[in-house]
Structure 1
Amino acid sequence: MIKKMVAASVSATLAFAPFASNACTAVNIVAKDGSVVAGRTMEWAFDMKWQLTANPKGTTINLSAPTSLKLPATNLSSKYAFAAIAPGVLAGPPAYLEGQNEAGLGISGNFLPGFTEYQTVTPQDKNYVSILNLGGFILGMFGSVKELRNELPKYKVWFDPSEVKGLPTPPWLHLVLTDRGGDSIVVEFVKGQMMIHNNIAGVLTNAPTYD
């Protein structure tokens, strides 16, 4: 099932990729029998050289702070296998923006320029993750939206442009997260705060913010 759903996502991405624009749409559909279909389009002007990767259970998930703070990094062993897509133009480890894990939890990142302001990590913080590692962290460590509602606010999500090479634009993103039961949330970073919205509409586009 995960192979079929990932293949459908990749097909939709490739089908819409040639259009020279920066608009995307993610849509969730819940059938009468309770089956959930989460899909998206990818109308993106930049050639990101997308790469699809299968990550087995036990994959190392790195959680770190900006290097200037010299805070300790944490390496976790993923609880779930997952398949995800990352931009190949980005130097360094894959930054997963789209994917699904074996528990049926999926993530989709859409562009949110003009509104996104990630959180500020301080020397006193204990839990932190770069936006570039957030997708892998979510897919590798969580099995449901309920878990994410409880655990994700405990972490600060940051971005430092000086530590990124290869991206044609900063990753100003908001995320839609959907599990196999159809529960769905939108996660945004506005004015330095994490905002979590119930995805009542079942749709996420680009700017403005979900609310």
Structure 2
Amino acid sequence: MGKNFKSIVCIGLIALTFYSCKKGSNSETADLGTNQYKDYNEQVSQNVSKLNPERKQQREKWLKELKKNPVYIDLVDSDVVSVDYLPTLNAVSDAIKNSFSIDGSSQFGISEAIATNLEKSNNGDSKMSFVVAVSSLSLRMNGGLPNEIVEVFDRYRSKYNLYGAGNTNFYDSNGKSVKIEKPFNISYAFGLFDPKDEKVLDAIYESVQKGVSQWKESSEQV
């Protein structure tokens, strides 16, 4: 992977991060964590403290609804790590990749194929509700993702890596095999969490080269 190319990718990913120069109080209790994503969590905490009352109220509403979602309960409360939820996190990562701004309004898009496959899966409605709420929270105008969601992605990265091709068998440390039927790519989410991670930059490049993903068409990130 060429040095110049990687620099271009890095610049694009840095645009996804949330910058804040001054520390302030935050009414939302934030777990800043002790992992490599602490900087992102601190930035989110600062962003949330600066939200206007209406935007902050909407954020709190999404978080409240999320905590009742059975997918959230599995992924966050029960620490479930399963190939069944890879398409869900893949959809969030796709939304993060396809975030953009039009006339000052932040939006995100999800591939039709990814959304359709998720909706048709078991418990598809709950999964899509989870994806929409989490993707909305990821936007800068809404503050960013809480640490518990970042940790979910980190657990899946640890077990399944940043991306993978479909129709392949995955073997865990005990030699147990599970089949991953659809391609997945959660590297774009980690481009948001830690845009300087060399492994993430490599994964984004490699996933595109291998046809697992494609470059984002819109140039203006939010």
TM-score by length of 2: 0.28
Kindly indicate which of the two structures has a greater share of residues assigned to strand: 1
Kindly indicate which of the two structures has a greater share of residues assigned to helix: 2
Look at both structures and tell me which one has the larger radius of gyration over its CA atoms: 2
